[in-house]
Amino acid sequence: MTNDDQRAAWNGASGANWVDQQERYDRTLEPWAVLLADTAAVTLGECVLDIGCGCGATTLDAARRTGAAGAALGVDLSAPMIAVARRRAEAEGLVGASFRVGDAQTADLGVEEHDVVVSRFGVMFFDDPVAAFANLRKAVRPGGRLAFAVWAALPDQEWITVAMAAALAHLPRAEPAGPTAAEDAPGLFSLARPERTIDLLTRAGWDDVAVDRQERQVLFGGGGTVDDAVAFLAKTGPARALLDGVDEATVARTLDAVREAFAAYDTPDGVVLGGTAWMVTARR
């Protein structure tokens, strides 16, 4: 079975964290969700396929845009996150929004059923990206389109590097996560190199592939105090990995250092940090 590691993570601690802090994640990623919506340009009556939909924010937005005559299907490996997405759709009365637990590499997503495929940071985790993107292409009608956001390289992510620099001063054994010799492995930065992304999509059969660099300021943790931002960070998967097995005193010093670093980026709305993503588009 493909994507076993990702399936375990998103049905385990990582998925539970996103469920617990769904609203804060949505607020943090809102600038990218807006950019994705503008790029995909979903219109009334279209059928949308949202890959790596998580707790459903981008699928729900697509369902609102398609209206009663259209539909939006969200697909994700995480059963807990899909459960949240379904509850949100039901609460809002969005009958056009539906959700499925599945692996986009291998799931039956239909043949020529969708007008557009979208993803907000959900396509960087494929074990076999060519197979996955080919499966997505099969699901799109001729002339259909693809629009997704993926993170650029780690040094361009102030929302990570500010905290990492502060933390690593107290955790010398830690290695920063990001593209290395195994940069093609599934993860946050697997599609950080646009030339690789273009090659993968081309090999999967997509046409007119374009990659556009976009920078945004994000409200880290979705707003609140510096302490709120530190608490949000401490629950993320990368932070948990860095702090796993570390003694309490060192953890406290590390988080104090991050708190001090975040204070330099504090605003009346919360801690604001920069991020950079590639907005990728293609057509069948």
Write down the H helix ranges in 170-247: 194-203, 226-234, 237-243
Scan for tokens 């060192």, then name that residue.
Answer: 250
Q: What is the pLDDT of residue 110?
A: 94
162/199 Cα distance (integer angstroms)? 32
159/228 Cα distance (integer angstroms)? 15
Q: How many residues does the chain have?
A: 284
Name every residue whose Cβ is closer than 8 Å to that of residue 252 and which is 6 or more positions away in sequence: none
Q: What is the pLDDT of residue 209?
A: 98
> In a 10 Å sphere around its CB, with 0-12 CB exposed, 13-18 middle and 19+ buried, how is residue 181 labelled?
exposed
Name the residue ranges covered by the structural domains of the chain.
Answer: 4-283
CB 95 within 8 A of CB 108: no
Q: Which residues of the chain have pLDDT under 70?
A: 1-2, 172-183
Strands 270-283 vs 266-267: parallel, antiparallel or unpaired = antiparallel
121/152 Cα distance (integer angstroms)? 11
Q: What is the pLDDT of residue 70?
A: 97
Name every residue whose Cβ is closer than 8 Å to that of residue 152 and which is 6 or more positions away in sequence: 192, 213, 276, 277, 278
Question: CA quadruple 267, 160, 18, 43: dihedral positive or negative?
Answer: positive
Q: What is the pLDDT of residue 35?
A: 97
Q: pTM for the full model?
A: 0.92
Query: 120-162, pLDDT tens digit by residue?
Result: 999 999 999 999 999 999 999 999 999 999 999 999 999 999 9
What fold, for 4-283? Rossmann fold (3.40.50)
Q: What is the pLDDT of residue 172?
A: 61
Of 182, 122, 118, nearest to 151 (Cα)? 122
